[in-house]
Structure 1
Amino acid sequence: MYPDHTPHPPVRRAVEVHHPTPLPPAVAVSAPVVPVQSGTVPAVASIVLPDGRVITGYAINPAHPEPVAAKPAVSRAAVNVALGGVGFLAVCGGLILLTSFIAALTAFITQLITLAAVIFGGWIAVQIFSASGHRDGGTTVNIRKAVIKRNKFYS
């Protein structure tokens, strides 16, 4: 038995070889174009070939590549980092001014309190020391040596 399970040997067939037939070179002939009204572009264009055949199809405009946007000289990330640094410096300067303002305000309030204490203390001192030297209109009490003998008061 043979590998294809037939009792007879396989039949060999003749191999046919096909060679491609070269085409004659195309002759460059300008085909007349059907006249079109100026200012309007038809949706479909027709061309009449020299042998009389008419080819109809859509007019294809050549594709123009999109203009490439010029890359900036500096990347956006670098610009953002620089702007962040400027903003940080501005905030730090503002904080320094704020702390200086708070310190100056605290010193001013401390001086006002000290001035009020000095003025009020001086007024109190004047009131105390001036009362002892004042004798007009007051009651004078003379205390003498009193002697008490056997529950009796002697003046």
Structure 2
Amino acid sequence: MYPEHPGHLPTERAVTIHQPVPVAPVQAASLVPIQPAGIPAVASIVLPDGRIVTGYAIDPMQHEPVAAKPVVSRAAVNIALGGIGFGAVCGGLVLLTAFVAALAAFIHQLIILAAVIFGGWIAVQVLGSNRHGAGTTVNIRKAVIKRNHFHG
């Protein structure tokens, strides 16, 4: 009963029996002749004198509709729009350069004004009157000038 033991065969074996299942008969579909896509159908025409002409009926060929070309090409339109945009930008660049030039002139004049004011202040400090008593005072009235010589 235990198949894992060597030399021991099981006495009972489970047997499964399969019965065949009948398949339902297939109904044959009626065949309809289908004309292949590349070959046109055969047509017969009776002429007025009684003759019969048989041949393939050919439909007139339909051409693909051609897209209407624009009057102006896209490249020309793009070039024109680029030119308009460039012109608009150039106007702005001219204004920008004019603004930068005016700003540079203004800063230049401020520097000159500061130099004049600062230089004037320094001149007043150096050449101004000595009211603090730190310098030497010369009384010219007591000086004696003889023969173009100063004797103090």
- TM-score, normalising length: structure 1: 0.46
TM-score by length of 2: 0.47
